[in-house]
Amino acid sequence: MRITFLGADHEVTGSCHYLQVADKNILIDCGMEQGNDVYENQELPIPACDVDYVLLTHAHIDHSGLIPLLYVNGFRGKIYCTEATVQLCDIMLRDSAHIQMFEAEWRNRKAKRSNGTLKEFIPLYDAKAVYEVMKQFVGLEYEKIVKIDDNVSIRLRDVGHLLGSASIEVWASEDTPEGRVERKLVFSGDIGNVHKPITKDPATVADADYVVMESTYGNRSHNGTPDYVAELVKVFKRTFDRGGNVVIPSFAVGRTQELLYHIRKIKADGLMDRDFDVYVDSPLAIEATEVFSKNVEQCFDEDAIELVRQGINPLSFPGLKYAISSEESKMINFDTNPKVIISASGMCEAGRIRHHLKHN
């Protein structure tokens, strides 16, 4: 039994752990490094065709983004995760393939302009690879122990980081000269905060022989949960009073849905003295919101489920408008009324958000 850390061991992104149990090769996550050259991700120490399984904690690209490349290189095993993660990966990996295509085209144009070199950059993977690898995903329920082979059983625990996110308990057994040995390993994945909207609070794990845990915020103390609704109301009032629009850069999956949840409450509770429209200008965010709405019972917290039981969509409200096409996106800026615009990317480095920042 052996574990090798291939990613997220020197920075936050690119999570990938390689677990060897008996004669099986297992990857826990297979993420893409974010913010760096995606062509310089850590290589696997074994051929992709020798990987037996992937255990996936959640759909964020820094945990799932290289799974299609794994397929391109010969991987044909099963990928275990929650059903919500399957659905989110379907849209997020397609979006990643789209970005790969434009990234490669941009690199090729730049290389040709600068020195005329003939080195061609090609996408790490394309939409066809995503389509094919999605057939290998297996959606599991939370809290059920599943035996994936004679030596390995797993259980997924909700950690409240993202819809469908999980820590993974692994019971691994193998024969040694001293007899059969079993160890319990826990891979935390990314752990969410308590009292987040929509998702449940993280479940706790009682025991383990070894724990591999994320530590993104390990060096700081969180001082309670901010009152996001009150803060948003202050920003909205201040901006609308001076005739402006509120432009919110937001990650398409997770953050956008949390914003919609808060804004619905603002409108439902009458916390603003005027009505206003809210535009979600991100095709990926729109698809992700549909996935959220399909996973209420499995993934929503009790407050969100109670709204659904009352016939209230916690992610929708009067005045919510979606922009899918680029033309619809451009038309938003012809609306002269005060409004809220939620658009990607969350870090403003690309995407439609740059267009809105320019016009506001």
pLDDT along the chain (360 residues), means of 10: 78 80 96 66 86 97 95 97 98 93 81 69 92 98 97 97 97 92 95 92 94 83 85 98 95 96 98 96 96 96 96 97 95 94 85 88
Q: CB pairs under 8 A, 24+ apart, for 233-240?
A: 233/266, 233/271, 233/272, 236/266, 236/272, 236/276, 236/340, 237/272, 237/273, 239/338, 240/274, 240/276, 240/338
What pLDDT does residue 96 have? 93
Kindly report, as residue ranges, where domains of CATH 3.60.15.10 are found in the chain. 2-212
Token look-up 């275990």 returns 80
Token look-up 């980081």 returns 161
What pLDDT does residue 9 have? 54
What pLDDT does residue 214 have? 86
Structural class in CATH, domain 2-212: alpha beta
CATH 3.40.50.10890 matches 228-359: yes
What pLDDT does residue 279 have? 97
What pLDDT does residue 36 have? 56
Residue type, 262: H
Q: CB of 223 within 8 A of CB of 317?
A: no
The DSSP element (H or E) to which 248 belongs, if any, is: strand 246-249
Kindly report, as residue ranges, where domains of CATH 3.40.50.10890 are found in the chain. 228-359
pTM: 0.92
